[in-house]
Amino acid sequence: MRMKKLLFIGLTLIMASCISNSGGKKQPQAFQYQPNIKQLKVDTARLEKIDHLLQDYVDQGIIPHALTFVAKNGHVIHHKTFGMRNVEKQIALEKEHPEYRNLLREYSDGLLLFDISNEEVWNKASTDLDGLENFFEANKENYKWESPRFRGKVLHCSDEKILAEAEKFMKTVSKDSVDIQLRRKFNKDKVEIKIENGLYAPGANKAVDAYIFKKEAYTDNTYPAIACVGELVAAPESYKDVRGPVTADYQNYLEEEWIKSLRNKYKVIINQEVLKTVKSN
């Protein structure tokens, strides 16, 4: 009996959920929501295997009943019950036990909230580039560095001659295509030059530490000729320089504004009698 109960618990919920990317699509409407199976790339054959497996367990008497609940990208794509809660009376699982219906509703509402939150807050915070830039500009004081950063390129060349030619060549081409042009010119037969681009804090790049921040010496036996081409930056100039912290703060800001707008739009009424029963339980 204990094994049956454990197996039942293990098979009660089969749930596969991942980060939703709603992209402006309609919100899921509880269990009435009908997702686009093809667009979500759902493997219906695998869902059928789950159904057959659980139905076999019920038919063989291994478990009396089971429930599946499968979601993908925040959308309910499959939910089904198997067997009877009361075999003698032939009463289905959901009819005799409302807690299972409530459990389904709870997961459905949770997915709905997740999808809306993703569209209104999480996804918007990472994709609203204008919003991120404006938020950064309005809160620059919160994103200072303890020490300057180096913004630029690190050139690793096979010898000093290649390095001198590369530095001279860089002055003759557009900044937008300089990396492509350098590789095209110097890496025809073999790799004579390697290029790194970035915004480097002290300790982030050994070559930058040695040549810009004048820390421990750095040598590369394969590409011994090294140069750092760029500039020291005292403070972030764009949200891109501190994208992680700005995105996190912008997300919190969007969530606060969203909740504020909901409170202004909808009146919250608390049923005190029901609240007392919740507290007592």
d(CA 242, CA 144): 9
> If residue 109 lies in a helix (H) or strand (E), which one and from where to where?
helix 98-117
Question: Using alpha carbons only, how large is the chain's radius of gyration in Å?
Answer: 30
| Amino acid symbol at 49 | K
- Residue 13's contacts (CB-CB under 8 Å, 6 or more residues apart) are 67, 68, 69, 107
- Residue 132's contacts (CB-CB under 8 Å, 6 or more residues apart) are 125, 239, 243, 246, 247, 250
pLDDT digits (tens, 9 = 90+) for 125-153: 889 999 999 999 999 999 999 999 999 99
The percentage of the chain sitting over the pLDDT mark of 70, rounded to a whole number, equals 76
d(CA 91, CA 147): 70
279 pLDDT exceeds 80? no
* Number of residues written out for the chain: 281
Q: For residue 112, what pLDDT is reported?
A: 79
pLDDT digits (tens, 9 = 90+) for 71-127: 776 667 777 777 765 556 555 555 555 666 677 677 778 877 888 888 888 888 889
> If residue 43 lies in a helix (H) or strand (E), which one and from where to where?
none
Task: From 48, 51, 50, 20, select the one nearest 35 (Cα to Cα).
Answer: 20
Beta strand extents in the chain (DSSP E only) = 65-72, 75-86, 91-92, 149-157, 193-200, 225-233
3-state secondary structure of 36: coil
Average of per-residue pLDDT values in the chain: 80
pLDDT digits (tens, 9 = 90+) for 9-60: 344 433 333 333 334 444 434 443 455 666 667 777 777 888 888 888 788 8
211 pLDDT exceeds 90? yes
